[in-house]
Amino acid sequence: MFKKILEFGVNLVARMPEFGLKEEIRNVFYQDIVSERIIEYAWVVRHIPGGRKVVLDVGCRYSNLVLTLASLGYKTYGIDIEPYPYSHRNLKFITGDIRSTDFDKNFFDCIVAVSTLEHIGLRFYEKTKKDLKGDRKAIEEIMRILKPGGKFILTVPYGKWRITRSYRVYDEKHLKQLLGDLKLTLAEYFVKKDGQWMPSSRSDASKVDSLHEVNSVVFAVCQK
């Protein structure tokens, strides 16, 4: 059976030009690899504390960052409302909601949330009741389980404030409201132009409208 599936795949790839699919598939693949993840993961790894820290990756179901952290030697935890399909000896995954967890108070040295908070409570990934304050509730729980002096590293869409069907876009006012008592120690901005991500000033990033897709992101490091 596997051999037949493999042969089908090989034949399909070989006949892509005939079907006119080769260019379309290449474009889809390119758009996938040049999403904001292309810079988010590298940026997070660069700013995460050194040493054998206890780290939590929030919303890791479709991410390889949690495996990267585990492979780098961190004592890594992951949490998502959907099961994570991979394993690592340094990784403990919990299926759950970051708005309410069973972790002990002051448990983690560092918590990361890559392109996650903007979705929480909007029912795009969840099957629960819509909760417009879901992102703030997540921050409150993150504050509870993060050690004093611990780092919280996040990325969220940035620009003209709006709430779409599946994500929020934060401006400066709403970003400050989101972070609450967390101390913002570093913020960097990236904007997508002509399909390519590049560093940006806060001023330029704040003018971007991400109505149909995310075109501007803020990368932030906070401390409890």
Say if CB 108 and CB 79 are below 8 A apart: no
Give residue-wise pLDDT tens across range 139-193.
999 999 999 999 999 999 999 999 999 999 999 999 999 999 999 999 999 999 9
Say if CB 159 and CB 215 are below 8 A apart: yes
Domain boundaries, the chain: 1-33, 36-223
Taking 90 as the threshold, does the pLDDT of residue 87 lie above it? Answer: yes
Taking 60 as the threshold, does the pLDDT of residue 115 lie above it? Answer: yes
What is the pLDDT at residue 37? 83
Higher pLDDT, 57 or 36: 57
Radius of gyration of the chain (CA): 19
Q: Output the pTM of the full model.
A: 0.84
- Name the residue type at position 144: R
Lowest mean pLDDT among 60-64, 74-78, 98-102: 60-64
Crossing angle of helices 134-145 and 172-179, in 10° steps, is 40
- Name the residue type at position 53: K
Give residue-wise pLDDT tens across range 7-52.
444 444 444 454 454 555 544 444 445 577 889 999 999 999 988 8
**Architecture field, domain 36-223:** 3-Layer(aba) Sandwich (3.40)
